[in-house]
Amino acid sequence: MKSFTIGEEFYLDNRPFKILSGAIHYFRISPDDWYHSLYNLKALGFNTVETYVPWNMHESQEGVYDFEGILDVEKFLSIAQDLGLYAIVRPTPYICAEWEFGGLPAWLLEKQVKIRSDDPDFLTYVERYYKVLLPKLAKRQLEQGGNILMFQVENEYGSYGENKNYLRQLKQLMEAQGLTAPFFTSDGAWQATMRAGSLIEDDVLVTGNFGSKGKINFSNMKAFFQQHDKKWPLMCMEFWDGWFNRWKEPVIRRDPEELADSVMEVLAEGSINLYMFHGGTNFGFMNGASARRDKDLPQVTSYDYDAILDEAGNPSPKFYALQNRLKEAFPDLDYREPLIKETMAIEAIPLKRKVTLKGTIESLSRPSTHFYPKSMEELGQATGYIFYSTQLPRDKEEERLRVIDARDRIQVFVDNQKVATQYQEEIGGDIMVKQQTELSQLDILVENMGRVTYGHKLEAPTQRKGLGRGLMADLHFVGDWEHYPLPLENIDAITYEAEWQEGLPSFYEFEFEFECQNPQDTYLDMSQFGKGVAFINGYNLGRFWQVGPTLSLYLPGSFIEKGINKITIFETEGIYQQGLSLKNHPIYKEIEGENL
């Protein structure tokens, strides 16, 4: 049986082993494309794949577990092993990963627990999850005939806390479920984060995260090791070969040759995990947000990351630049030609039906009435939208309305006319309305645009989504609200019998027939639509927004069925087209300036 140990070097079957790893998140890629991406990792010359495990996908509803389809981590690991790839798995409660709430399930927000701590209640939820998850991984460890080399204890904890008891208890929970492979932590490669986030005193390997200046960062790590009399191999657990993108900001690009130089600098001294090798897509509502003092900055649906493979899994210029350099330095590695998928385009897909949200909301949502508005979490909802409705008496000719503490984006309607759209920094500002009747219908659509993934705001009140404290008319809070949760997990219930009204949030159904056996990847052109989410045959492809930088949504060919296919658009701004197109390339909006 094979063995993997850590001494002054990594050892595979007692022989020195350099880890050449690339990050591929199974939950961001269609299962039909796992082989394609993993093969291309092997083709680059690499020997290991790394992946996170997202708690909030595997247990999106408390106590209900899902390991099917895109969440079948065991199948993903099996394909990797069949290709001759080893694996590094990061099954930590928190993953960051620019993923909704850093991978933590939103239902924790209603549990009154201190996340990422040794709070016994928090650890009880972690343990319950681990009892389901970890046995699936334990049997896939290298020494049990699988391909897993190492497990992560916590993720960049030194950028959040320094509770070593918490880290030790996580490790003990993992060991209790049969994990025996070496453990590691990963943090920024400087003294403060390594000291706070590691378990170096417990002989847990310390790895670093950075995207350049390999010699300097490894020098910092060596100095930290020396303080604790450790002679360990050096490894960059996250070498950032690109970066993620946020709405309204320009796409970040990195020069392929400069990247290759930086990677070779790391490989001259240690091992590497390229973050990302293949980024994939934040399908559904699973994009995260960057925390800022005054507001959060939601990330886009694409997780292309300007990575070694593009969003569809095809080699980018970085693949070839890096492979050429690897061949020079390590001529004996197993290099191959990468697999490349073709793309297709379909024009003029006709609009078949449309209906306003209010015209079908009773079929989509089970309403409840509460005097004070409830948050998304109080209603047992994790992501998506909530529609709030009440009656507003007319007290004077022009009324001042204010929405207090709603998150993240609101649209306010009076008698089915939109009177305001406000985003985080605008919420709370005056909304002046002139009511036409003595008693008006007042509706508010609230969108959760994604919870933060990293930093000090993980436990902040801003991560609880919905109407907040409510709506004020004049100087008083308005009560008696109808609540319509809209997670949009099942859009089959949409009915199109009601009349459509211009300018209101609406559903648009497009239909096309595909007769070929093997549909190719494509990109849904959303450049002529405002803001919302798109579905193919009921599957949520993710968010779109005309502010850019992305104006299309990646559509894997495996999501297209032979025969009739339905594309459903939920658009909130009243901006739509009578026809829809699928393009053979992504569409971007040119945005000047620098990312924050």
* Catalytic positions: 156, 238
Among candidates 109, 104, 151, which has minimal Cα distance to 129? 104
What is the rounded radius of gyration, in angstroms, for the C-alpha atoms of the chain? Answer: 25
Burial 136-157 (b: 16+ CB within 10 A, else e): bbbebbbeeebbbbbbbbbbbb
Give the integer Cα–Cα distance in Å for 306 and 304.
Answer: 5
3-state secondary structure of 345: coil
First and final CA of the chain: distance in angstroms? 49
DSSP string, 374-412: PBTTTTT--SEEEEEEEEEE--SSSEEEEEES-BSEEEE
| Contact call for residues 405 and 468 (beta carbons, < 8 A) | yes
The pairing of beta strand 579-583 with beta strand 409-414: unpaired
| Residue 102 identity (one-letter amino acid) | G
Angle of the 317-329 helix axis to the 256-267 helix axis, nearest 10? 40
Q: How many CB atoms lie within 10 A of CB 342?
A: 11
DSSP string, 448-513: E---B-SSTTTTSGGGS-BSTTEEEETTEE---EEEEEE--S-GGG----SPP-TTS-EEEEEEEE
**C-alpha count within 13 angstroms, C-beta hemisphere, residue 31:** 12
Give the integer Cα–Cα distance in Å for 594 and 583.
Answer: 28
Positive or negative torsion for Cα 211, 216, 218, 223: negative
C-alpha 466: how far from its chain's center?
Answer: 20
Among all chains, which residue has been given the structure tokens 């927000």? 109
Give the integer Cα–Cα distance in Å for 105 and 127.
Answer: 14
Close Cβ partners of 362 (under 8 Å, ≥ 6 residues apart): none
Burial 412-447 (b: 16+ CB within 10 A, else e): bbbeeebebebebeebeeebebebeeeebebbbbbb
Pure H helices in 275-351: 317-329
Cis peptide before 521 (omega within 30 of 0): no
DSSP string, 411-426: EEEETTEEEEEE-TTT
Taking the C-alpha atoms of 198, 243, 573 and 404 in order, what is their torsion angle to the nearest 10 degrees?
30
